[in-house]
Amino acid sequence: MFRHAIVRKPSKNLADGLTTADLGKPELSKVMAQHAAYCDALEQCGLQVIRLDADPDYPDSTFVEDTAVLTVKSAILARPGAESRLGEVANIRDAIERFYGNIHEIKAPGTLDGGDICEAGSHFFIGVSQRTNEEGARQLGAFLAVDGYTSSLIDIRDMTSILHLKSGIAYLGGDNLVVMEELALRSEFARCNLIRVPAAESYACNCVLVNDRVLLPSGFPQLQAALASHGCKPLLLDMSEFRKMDGGLSCLSLRF
């Protein structure tokens, strides 16, 4: 059960951030409305939402998930793979230190984005991507092992369809894993009960289990129906503007 979430208000220069999408620039009024609705949804799920001010020095900083990995036992400060985002970690440290006494840090030459890390019960899937390198993954795995967790590496460096691992998978409790078709045959997921998502709806793979609800981007009826058939209760949110910046639902908060 999550009790808290850290979010950061989008800055007015969000459109200056990094993106590989070709969907146009985000509209600021819609960005703010969608972010407010996201925060409201977290509160509906029973979380206390810690709202941080916008940081125009870092246009991507509303995507706070990439700055840390938070577990029940400790916090691991990340080291983003994009150089322009490195300063975001120092700027979120104070918020994390309010709740965690045991804090680790990924060190150079390791790089790690939180969006590449999928916690699945006591096991962590760690994506090795264009943002998270093997050294960063190794350091994280070592920190997790000290706390009694297991982990495995999922190499997605040859994939052009997703930026981070959690763009293509989501853990829904038990053995249930939402997975995009392109990843569905990976041996690393052989023991999971897979909810396979067709290519046309792959963006919706980045859904988020928050207590008794599943936050799901709106406009993806096949996955919505599949989740309902598995007993999940989807809570739909418009993510159109964040999608333009390669952002998804999990990216916008650190949940713990």
Q: Name the residues annotated as catalytic.
A: 164, 251
Q: How far apart are CA 236 and CA 232, in angstroms?
A: 12
Residues whose CB falls within 8 Å of the CB of residue 200, separated by 6 or more in sequence, listed in order:
222
Q: Is 98 helix (H, G, I), strand (E, B) or coil?
A: coil
Neighbours of 52 (CB within 10 A): 16
Neighbours of 230 (CB within 10 A): 15
Residue 58 is which amino acid? Y
Neighbours of 134 (CB within 10 A): 15
Pick from 108, 161, 87, 151: nearest CA to 130:
161
Strand partners, 210: 213
Q: How far apart are CA 18 and CA 82, in angstroms?
A: 9
The C-alpha R_g of the chain, in whole angstroms, comes to 17
Starting at the earlier edge strand, list the strands of the sheet with 150-155.
Answer: 117-120, 123-128, 150-155
Q: Pull the structure tokens for residue 125.
A: 């899937």
Neighbours of 62 (CB within 10 A): 25
Q: How far apart are CA 194 and CA 162, in angstroms?
A: 18
